Amino acid sequence: MSLLNYVKREEATGHIAEIYDMLEERIKVIPNVVQFYTASPELFGKLMGLIGHFIDHPKLEREMVAYTRMLISHKSKAEYCVKLQSGILRSMEISEQDLDVAKEDYTKVRLNDKNRALVCFVLDMMFDKLENAKSRIEELKEHGWTDKDIFEASVMGAIQKGMVNVIKTFEVQPDF
């Protein structure tokens, strides 16, 4: 399922099994990509904590988080991650048409102006298209985003982009 060994669901014990149980209860499945993170059991718990931080973020809405991850994956040509995040968005009743519009031009992602501005900022930053960062940050603040929000959304984007590269390199196989 990948070029590296990892702890599969049926082999999990201890802390990894506890996290798998929690994930099954919460999201009903444990995608291969999540299991792959156990190639480093110590890092697995920390990554799950980070992912949980963004899923439960008080200001970064789940739809915006999933769109950001999906669009970074799309621009990185990581179909596994695109399918996973698109599935999450579909479960939020986002239409195929809306997903296609966003993939075609992320500046047209169907979010409110505040959320779209932050998604576009993060995507521009991840793909070296960010110009005039100072004025863009001021624009985000005018929308009501704080320094903390902007930083955390940016870190989320960087983690997604980095993990997309790891997943592609180690050939994690889709399971859906």
Burial 147-158 (b: 16+ CB within 10 A, else e): eebbebbeebbe
- Considering the entire predicted model, what is its pTM? 0.91
Sign for the CA dihedral angle at 42, 1, 5, 158 comes to negative
CA distance 111 to 34: 27
Task: Indicate the domain borders of the chain.
Answer: 9-55, 62-169
Per-position pLDDT tens, the chain of length 176 = 799 999 999 999 999 999 999 888 887 788 899 999 999 999 999 999 998 899 889 999 999 999 999 999 999 999 989 998 999 999 999 999 999 999 999 999 999 999 999 999 999 999 999 999 999 999 999 999 999 999 999 999 999 999 999 999 999 988 87
- Architecture, CATH, for domain 62-169: Up-down Bundle (1.20)
**Tokens (6 digits) for 46:** 């920390």
Q: What is the pLDDT of residue 140?
A: 99
